[in-house]
Structure 1
Amino acid sequence: MTTVRHPVDTPLPPAQLGVLGLQHVLVMYLGCVTVPLVFGAAAGLDTETVGLLINADLLVAGVVTLVQSLGVGRVLGVRLPVVVGATFTAVSPMILIAQQYGLAAVYGSMIAAGVFGLLVAVPFSRALRFFPPLVSGVVITVVGLSLIGVAAGLIAGNDPAAPDYAALPNLGLAGGILLLVVLLTRFATGFLAQVAVLLSLVAGTLAAIPMGLTDFSGVGGAAWVGISAPLHFGPPEFPVAAVVSMCVVMLVTFTESTADMLAVGELTGKELSRADLARGMAADGVSAVLGGFMNAFVDTVFAQNVGLIGMTGVRSRYVAASAGGILVLLGLVPKLGQVVAALPGPVVGAAGLVMFAMVASVGVRTLGKVQYDGTKNLFIVAVAVGIGMVPVVAPGFYRGFPGWAQVVLGSAITSATLAAFVLNLVFNHTKRAAAAPVD
Structure 2
Amino acid sequence: MTDIASRVALVEDDDDLRASLAQALRLAGLAVDPFPAATAALAAIDADYPGVVVTDVRMPRVSGTELFATLAARDPALPVILMTGHGDVPMAVDALKRGAWDFLTKPFDPEALITSVLRAGQTRALALENRRLRAAAEAGAGDGLIGESPAIRRLRAMIPALAEADIDLLIEGETGTGKEMLARLIHRAGKRRRRRFVAVACAALPDARVEGEMFASVGEGSVTAADGGTLFLDDIDRATRRLQDRLAQLVETRSVPGRGRDPVAIDLRVIATAREAGQRADDAIDPALLYRLAAVRLRLPPLRERREDVPLLFAHLAAQSAARLRASLPALTDAARAHLVGHDWPGNVRELAHFADRLVLGIDPLAGGGAAPAADAPLPERLDAFERGAIVEALAATDGEVGAAITRLGIPRKTFYYKVQRLGIDLAALRRRRGA
TM-score by length of 2: 0.20
Please state which structure has a larger fraction of its residues in helix.
1
User: In terms of Rg, which structure is larger?
Assistant: 2
Relative contact order, higher structure (CA 8 A, sep 6+): 1
Please state which structure has a larger fraction of its residues in strand.
2
